[in-house]
Structure 1
């Protein structure tokens, strides 16, 4: 293959399926500056992304499973194929067909079948599959946690979390710590601003030597011991419970009347329970009265016999007891009349109890349903819509130890789902009222009906303006309109978020996790350094500041991995690197367009206080800047002097701090100030 053909293959991508997800995948790929060919069965009637036709190199109408159609799309020249139709069978067949025609094309497939995906990956190679339903669920769950925890993910057995922290005057860091002092092997600063609600769009846009002050906003990555979030305290502690129990003993009569009144008011909404209670009380009173009267006035009867006779009468057995005319004469007339009334009343009330019991058994459909937890009262998360996305969000929030309540409009959900969470059924207004929305911490709206999502979002905002509102959409236009209408809400377009992960995977990278922050998607992406890689041979500091990403793990096989690595590690073939990056940072890495405009700072070395400082200072300069050791020693042996290498500001400032520790006096100067 010629060099020109190789370049064509590197820049050509195929997308099969031009639905909502397919259109967003095309848009995400075009941000990388590559050529995109699309296969679709029919010409789309409308475009969700208005200028999408202008982004396509070619649109081929036909069945993407057919070899002739794939050959028309020049599949042998395609670096990757994104197979994202809504039919999983079509996706699997297309993947098999492409692999037969081109064994080198990377396959990125839309599929929710985990076992099949694993088998296809083993057989086809260079294959990755995503479930567009579950992939963004973590972004919804993190958004629901509120303003503090932005993301939680695991790397090599270690949990890491991204936190947003508002500094107040009583904070232990306030007016005490410089920003660079917060960085360590357990913590990495991502964003910082003095202005609440206004965070920079890029990493590293903060001043390391600034003092942290009240009202500052700080976003940082930090290691965590375990996956644990402290849920809101909705119940009193043991001590408070004990005190409350002691008070309740003293005021039991008043409390009992209050509970009875509350139950009575509630029973107007649940008339079945009210009727059952009245019938049960009446039957019990009649049973007690009958037993006492028969024992007192019937000659020679025992207490057990009196109780049995009363039960027989209540069950309609008057004829069984008084069928003998001779026996009737020895019983007082008023007792006979009472027995008749007992039998009539028992027939009525016991019949009602039988009817209620029968109704309860039939309505339960003969299933024993597990009793669900009670609905939280405050500081909880309400999930509205419990389809596949909602269920995945609920499971994640349960792992995070959050108090949650689910609202569903599917009447069969109770019998088909095993989620152990409080559930609410019914019409919209009643369901929102029962969910204690006015005291909820967050409201997550993820039904499949976008109009319903809009309606619920407006109702939820009216009920609780202070809650964190998270809304699911699939339409780009609706997402934009909702973001303007509800500026404080987090509107997540599922296909737009997923498409960025699909596009990233198409370039051969592994997406570990993703979350939304500051109106952009942050991806946790893993790289395996290859010989032609744009990262090969660079210092981690150059990767971080040149490409605008945050290295969070480095591993030089077969050694163990290093979390929060320092910037003086030089990447080599075979290394493993995990970064936090926006889609813009990933594009830069793919293109190799490293930003050198910010690399205009130099270090002026004034003097060293000892010969040992000269020796160690040269080592520090070579290690942090990447220059040769001979060049560093030449500078340290002829002080004062300026290091002739241009550096990024954070890189230069770190070098100055290291030199100061070694008793070497140095200062920062701009490249044009010499």
Structure 2
């Protein structure tokens, strides 16, 4: 990302040339950098054709050995990607690489979250990913087959990527232009008219186009979480009485009691009722004994009532004992009632406690929910990635049933219906004919194909998602099942590893219009290509979508920031980007500015000053240049702009009573 850094070190090293390593190497070569590889043995077969010829060097040996790393010129490398199948090898090689090159960026393949956090603190310039974690989101979202295309959390916001086909009854259809849909919490990503091909890049839509029936519109929207989740703690602890006092108000107390009652089962309700009755008897007994015997102290009255409530009737009246004070018959009868009620209460208390203990102790004996009847997702294959896919689908509150060859641990995904056994028999028990989607993510590609064909025969209308690691095999499946979504875990994960190799933090990824979209975080430093640029130049020039911007020293990040924001050292920026967008940022190759703005006239005299300010703010030109243009109307701003930027400038000028229009820039 930094110009001086790219010049100093443009070589990258990939350790482990398995399928993931090969995908990483191919993507790195597309950036136009030097790429070397280290592998334990000479590969007899390359998953990706002609990769061996494209690599600048291949060293055979153990990447943990200092001699092997030096042979691969680790001291000249900008980043090293440690993506072997053995996490211990990756960790050991990371220490060896850091000892030889203190500045090299370490990108590690590891699923050990705690260890990764510790290594990040001790090694520095370090990032680690689990190769199955990021692709799991792509599989889960592909399974939905509806408007949801992406879903992730960031900075107290819940972000959702939505893809909609406009119906005649939609509130936007026929009455809204695309630029009007961009708000403080929503950003348009793509717009396709009717049966036109899907757009493969951002900002290929016309901002002034009107939304029509049949259009396919994709946008990202941010929903703020509860204030209690997003607001930071002040560090002060309120007094206990301030916390409790609001709940003691009758309205709040009544609401709390109603909530507790509704959330309780029959046994718990019986316990609550008996406790209330016993409390009433205790207070009533105390009051009666105190009123009957005024000379007795309140403590004595409480003690007598407590003894009777706890079943101590025989301690007071049994065993032939004679009380030292006379007792009326009605008070004697009330004491008997208290004793009988206490016996029932203690029995209910024991039953409630026994239920709680058994529920906690034998929780593993709970039965799983029944298989959904219709409109559900069938997930076949529950290895590590399959379980992550299941978690995400349940997070999205979608009905789901899992299928596995062996029974699933009861503590894993306890709320998911599960069917174990042979795949052929299991498919008959999951209501496949009425399923919404079928996701096949076993480790065996041939089994995935077989199960995909079986699912298609049983339910031709379902959304079919198939895992295929081998790219050739995946292409064959796609030709055989053209309507299925065929995803490769290594191909998806490689884009995150490569993006991280250039110093960016890949927060998330999802699939949109047959492209992988990376949620990427930038920290602006001195010498960065983004330093000093307007967000409009970054967005339209590099083809990325700014999501969040946080100024240096500020606590909160701004969602969908304005195009007029200029980046400075210390700022933080989060964008949506394709791998091509990251390449353009890395290589500082911006798209061409093809439009100029011709300013015709200012309708009112005061508009000249406002017009100059608007020109400078949106175009990024010097304020002196903008004033010169406004003082010599009609005049064309001698500053080429991007189409979205130029159209917005014309709209903003009209708001301050200045008329302008677009003209094409000369080649």
Q: TM-score, normalised by structure 1?
A: 0.76
Q: Which runs of 5+ in 2 are unaligned?
A: 227-361
Partner Cα distance (1:503, 1:7) in 2? 15
Instruction: Map residues 111-510 of structure 1 onto 2, 5 A cutoff.
Output: 111-196=110-195, 198-225=197-224, 369-411=365-407, 413-414=408-409, 417-510=412-505
Partner Cα distance (1:434, 1:382) in 2? 11
Point out the more displaced range, 638-647 or 195-204.
195-204
Q: Secondary structure of 2:133's partner?
A: coil
Q: Which has the larger radius of gyration?
A: 1
Identify the residue that residue 517 of structure 1 maps to in structure 2: 512
C-alpha deviation, 1:383, in angstroms: 0.6
Q: Secondary structure of 1:211's partner?
A: coil
Identify the residue that residue 644 of structure 2 maps to in structure 1: 650
Residues 196 and 217 of structure 1 are in contact (CA less than 8 Å); yes or no, is this contact kept in structure 2?
A: no
Residues 9 and 78 of structure 1 are in contact (CA less than 8 Å); yes or no, is this contact kept in structure 2?
A: no
* 2:593 aligned with 1:594: no
C-alpha deviation, 1:479, in angstroms: 1.6
Instruction: Map residues 511-550 of structure 1 onto 2, 5 A cutoff.
Output: 511-550=506-545
RMSD between aligned alpha carbons?
1.9
C-alpha deviation, 1:552, in angstroms: 1.2
Partner Cα distance (1:367, 1:543) in 2? 54
Select 1:631's aligned residue among 625, 630, 648: 625
Residues 602 and 671 of structure 1 are in contact (CA less than 8 Å); yes or no, is this contact kept in structure 2?
A: yes
Partner Cα distance (1:439, 1:29) in 2? 44
Partner Cα distance (1:214, 1:179) in 2? 14
Q: What do the CA deviations read for 1:571-603 (whole angstroms, capped 9, x no partner)? A: 12111111101000000100111112xx12111
C-alpha deviation, 1:46, in angstroms: 0.5
C-alpha spacing 1:221/1:416, structure 2 compared with 1 (3 Å): closer
C-alpha deviation, 1:644, in angstroms: 1.2
Partner Cα distance (2:363, 2:210) in 1? 63
C-alpha spacing 1:78/1:635, structure 2 compared with 1 (3 Å): same
Identify the residue that residue 18 of structure 1 maps to in structure 2: 17
C-alpha spacing 1:584/1:5, structure 2 compared with 1 (3 Å): closer
Residues 553 and 561 of structure 1 are in contact (CA less than 8 Å); yes or no, is this contact kept in structure 2?
A: yes
* 2:77 aligned with 1:78: yes
Select 2:557's aligned residue among 550, 558, 561: 561
C-alpha deviation, 1:197, in angstroms: 6.7
Q: What do the CA deviations read for 1:473-529 (whole angstroms, capped 9, x no partner)? A: 111111222222222211110001101100000001000110112221100000011
C-alpha deviation, 1:433, in angstroms: 1.8
C-alpha deviation, 1:82, in angstroms: 0.3
C-alpha spacing 1:169/1:570, structure 2 compared with 1 (3 Å): same
User: Runs of at least 4 residues of structure 1 off by over 4 A?
Assistant: 3-9
Residues 179 and 207 of structure 1 are in contact (CA less than 8 Å); yes or no, is this contact kept in structure 2?
A: yes
C-alpha deviation, 1:176, in angstroms: 0.6
Identify the residue that residue 608 of structure 1 maps to in structure 2: 602
Partner Cα distance (1:577, 1:611) in 2? 39
C-alpha spacing 1:367/1:179, structure 2 compared with 1 (3 Å): closer
Q: What do the CA deviations read for 1:180-220 (whole angstroms, capped 9, x no partner)? A: 11111111111001124721111000111111000000000
Partner Cα distance (2:215, 2:566) in 1? 34
Residues 364 and 411 of structure 2 are in contact (CA less than 8 Å); yes or no, is this contact kept in structure 1?
A: no
Select 1:571's aligned residue among 567, 572, 579: 567
C-alpha deviation, 1:426, in angstroms: 2.0
Partner Cα distance (2:587, 2:80) in 1? 19
